[in-house]
Structure 1
Amino acid sequence: MKRFFAIAISLFSCFGYAHAQDINFSQFYEMPLLRNPALAGTYVGDVRATSAFRSQWGSVSVPYKTVALGTEVKFALTQNSNDYLSVGLQMTNDVAGDSRLGKTQAMPLLAYHKSLSGSKDSYLTLGFMGGAVQQRFDPTELKFDDQFVNGAYSPTNPTRQTFNNTNVTYWDAAVGLSYSTVLGMGTKFYTGVAYFHFTQPKVAFDQQSDIRLNKKLVANVGLAAPTSEVDQMIFYADFFYQGGSYQGQGGAMYKHDLLQYGDDETVSLSAGAFYRWNDAVIPVIKLNYYKLAIGLTYDVNVSKLKVASQLRGGFELTLSYKSFLNIRNSSAEKVRCPVGF
């Protein structure tokens, strides 16, 4: 059995025969550019930086570790216009399993926010993101069938398995469209759709194999509804299709303002829970401290792996910062602005 798994892991990890799925954070709402390039700029302020660290499956195998960093700058096109432009950059680094199968990407972003109303914050946004992705693995950490002698494995046993390439770089891109508006009683709402990997880049380490990254279609929705002057219910949900599989995740948080001096000068505490379909129940707590925010989640695994994992999935930490800039076309000087939760 050990021999079978050793060979299977080496084949699926190194040559890309498995249906590849994208990085997915439990606090997906904190990584808007990974959800949809058109969700750039959906915040109160001119600049936003978001980061996340995730460690998963430590109870089952070598932990899968993922780090992400996103930055955005939003500014009005002209002093008399309600239209905005957002530029940004999304970076991620992911390392998985014994082979340290890793992926690093740097994706510049451009988004245009078109005002649809002069009387309320209603916007149609088109966003594009594209850049370089690098994949690699470490073959010295793999175990192969011919390294088992008389049922015993030794890393000093020679193997006939060779790899001509352990590193590959390709170009990837995504495009998205979103609509955001303010409803009655101060309720904020947005919805969007995105198309990732529409060029289907070649991702196999074996250059003779025509293995392509699966296209991904995504639908997003967000809603923030005040329940009092200091309380708010916030809902997020994503649904996507990739590689013949459907997936959905969503949930809600209750937010209470402890101190409030303005939209960008608030101390608040949020708590809630999310659910990723057939995978995990995810309790969440978040603290907003003026321009900074920190969030913490833990995945309670409810998938078919729950017996082996003992319900333990992994924890995730996010940190974000947003603020206004002292510039002439700052959104602080504007009456109309894209919806920000």
Structure 2
Amino acid sequence: MKFGKSIIFFTVMILAVLNGFSQDHLYSQFFNAPVYLNPALNGQFEGDFRANFIYRTQYTTSGSPSTYFTASMDYNIPQFGGGIGIIFNRSSEGNDFLNTNNIAGIYSYSVGNDDYILSFGLQAGISNQSIDYSKLVFDDQINPTIGIIPGTSSSADALAFNNKYYFDTGAGINLVVGNFMAGAAFQHLNGPNDSFTGTPVKLPLRSTAYVTYRLDLNSSDNMDEDDKSYVIPSVVFYKQAQSQSTSAGVEYKHRSVSAGLWYRSGGQSGPSAVVVSLIFDLFVNKETREKFRLGVSHDAPVSGINYGGTSGSSEGSINYQTINPNRADAAPKFEGATHCYEFY
């Protein structure tokens, strides 16, 4: 009986992924994947060079787990109030039968003054999607009594294509006014064709919008910024085709440690979940702002899929930023304004 339930669950997961080919993955630690969240956040940090890495494993014990990875590197150009960068994304879904890779270049620029900063970002690159048929199980390979029949092949017709390349573009905008930040980003603006059948199917536009507020708990104290405490509530909304999700929560930041608690609605994109996160900033040199950031988070589903059968989802992230000692000193373009990186 238990094995039968596992087969049913596995089949449901496969169908869900097949029906959701065109849905992008989302990170619970959106603040530790800023360039993935919005290309307008490219080049927005203290220092000259930044590298971000984030990894997510989803429904590890379900029998059909999925993994996601993003790496980005960006270079801050003070004259732009932004910079240039590159991002790589990889997703392996349904026990690695569906793999998607993307690499893209990013350019960002800001306008404003000491009261506000308005940033723009553009992204363009190449994506590849492929299917590994050896990891798919069809109904004629399943025996109602014993389950999957070892060594059998299916008579199901193969798709016309199992390896697809396409050009992909995105853009974003971000506004910071005092202790308030809001932004929006759009991916797949050119509507690339990602069909495996030969019949053109456009990859749906992915829209992201967010608002964040930074509450200084020591505003009346004459303290160094690094010693202050902040409460940072945020709301992030995602929509792609008929799938949408909203993350709402709060982060408490004290010196170099941050803790967060979030609720993410599932809708048609999956079960709702409660997310906890913990972030550590390890400064190598505070004067030059050279640092490592380590982040961990865990999602516990509270509706739909049972937690005991999936073990939820986990994320780990690493961020490193440093300066170029050979580059001439250049003041930030809007030195007196609050910058987006001060919210995360």
TM-score tier, shorter chain, comes to 0.7 to 0.9
Task: Output the CA distance in 1 between the equivalents of 2:183 and 2:280.
Answer: 26
Task: Output the CA distance in 1 between the equivalents of 2:23 and 2:170.
Answer: 15
In structure 2, what is the equivalent of residue 265 of structure 1?
none
Deviations 1:167-220 (A, max 9, x none): 111111111111113x2xxxx33211222212111112122x222211122212
Percent identity of paired positions between Structure 1 and Structure 2: 24
Alignment equivalent of 1:51, drawn from 41, 50, 53: 53
| Alpha-carbon distance change, 180 to 57 in structure 1, aligned in 2, over 3 angstroms | same
Alignment equivalent of 2:273, drawn from 271, 280, 303: 280
Question: Contact conserved, 1:67 with 1:92, CA < 8 A, in 2?
Answer: yes
Aligned length: 314
| C-alpha deviation, 1:329, in angstroms | 5.5
Task: Output the CA distance in 1 between the equivalents of 2:316 and 2:145.
Answer: 42
Question: Contact conserved, 1:135 with 1:169, CA < 8 A, in 2?
Answer: yes
So what's the TM-score if we normalise by structure 1? 0.83
| C-alpha deviation, 1:281, in angstroms | 0.5
- The alignment partner of 1:340 has SS state of helix
So what's the TM-score if we normalise by structure 2? 0.82
Question: Contact conserved, 1:171 with 1:201, CA < 8 A, in 2?
Answer: yes
Task: Output the CA distance in 1 between the equivalents of 2:201 and 2:40.
Answer: 28
Q: Which moved more, 1:4-13 or 1:64-73?
A: 4-13
| C-alpha deviation, 1:26, in angstroms | 0.8
* Letter matched to residue 256 of structure 1: H
Task: Output the CA distance in 1 between the equivalents of 2:82 and 2:307.
Answer: 48
- The alignment partner of 2:214 has SS state of strand
| Alpha-carbon distance change, 234 to 325 in structure 1, aligned in 2, over 3 angstroms | farther
Question: Contact conserved, 1:6 with 1:145, CA < 8 A, in 2?
Answer: no
1:159 aligns with 2:154: yes
* Letter matched to residue 77 of structure 2: F
Task: Output the CA distance in 2 between the equivalents of 1:110 and 1:323.
Answer: 20
* Letter matched to residue 26 of structure 1: S
In structure 2, what is the equivalent of residue 169 of structure 1?
165
Task: Output the CA distance in 1 between the equivalents of 2:333 and 2:104.
Answer: 30
| C-alpha deviation, 1:233, in angstroms | 1.6
Task: Output the CA distance in 2 between the equivalents of 1:308 and 1:285.
Answer: 23
In structure 2, what is the equivalent of residue 227 of structure 1?
217
| Alpha-carbon distance change, 34 to 288 in structure 1, aligned in 2, over 3 angstroms | same
Question: Contact conserved, 1:7 with 1:145, CA < 8 A, in 2?
Answer: no
| Alpha-carbon distance change, 160 to 103 in structure 1, aligned in 2, over 3 angstroms | same
Question: Contact conserved, 2:54 with 2:70, CA < 8 A, in 1?
Answer: yes
| Alpha-carbon distance change, 303 to 223 in structure 1, aligned in 2, over 3 angstroms | same
Aligned ranges for residues 55-70 of structure 1 at < 5 Å? 55-70=57-72
Task: Output the CA distance in 2 between the equivalents of 1:340 and 1:154.
Answer: 53
Question: Contact conserved, 1:223 with 1:236, CA < 8 A, in 2?
Answer: yes
| C-alpha deviation, 1:136, in angstroms | 1.2
| Alpha-carbon distance change, 330 to 206 in structure 1, aligned in 2, over 3 angstroms | farther
Task: Output the CA distance in 2 between the equivalents of 1:143 and 1:128.
Answer: 40
Question: Contact conserved, 2:43 with 2:77, CA < 8 A, in 1?
Answer: no
What RMSD, in angstroms, separates the aligned Cα atoms of the two structures?
Answer: 2.6
In structure 1, what is the equivalent of residue 269 of structure 2?
none
Question: Contact conserved, 1:99 with 1:142, CA < 8 A, in 2?
Answer: no
| Alpha-carbon distance change, 56 to 19 in structure 1, aligned in 2, over 3 angstroms | closer
| Alpha-carbon distance change, 269 to 12 in structure 1, aligned in 2, over 3 angstroms | closer
In structure 1, what is the equivalent of residue 238 of structure 2?
240
* Letter matched to residue 321 of structure 2: K
Question: Contact conserved, 1:46 with 1:331, CA < 8 A, in 2?
Answer: no
Task: Output the CA distance in 2 between the equivalents of 1:10 and 1:56.
Answer: 14
1:195 aligns with 2:186: yes
| Alpha-carbon distance change, 296 to 160 in structure 1, aligned in 2, over 3 angstroms | same
Task: Output the CA distance in 2 between the equivalents of 1:89 and 1:148.
Answer: 44
Question: Contact conserved, 2:301 with 2:307, CA < 8 A, in 1?
Answer: no
Q: Which runs of 5 or more residues in structure 2 are unaligned?
A: 267-271, 284-290
| Alpha-carbon distance change, 288 to 12 in structure 1, aligned in 2, over 3 angstroms | closer
Question: Contact conserved, 1:66 with 1:94, CA < 8 A, in 2?
Answer: yes
Deviations 1:120-155 (A, max 9, x none): 252111111111111112111112222346755424
Aligned ranges for residues 140-155 of structure 1 at < 5 Å? 140-148=134-142, 151-152=145-146, 153-155=148-150
Question: Contact conserved, 1:51 with 1:69, CA < 8 A, in 2?
Answer: yes
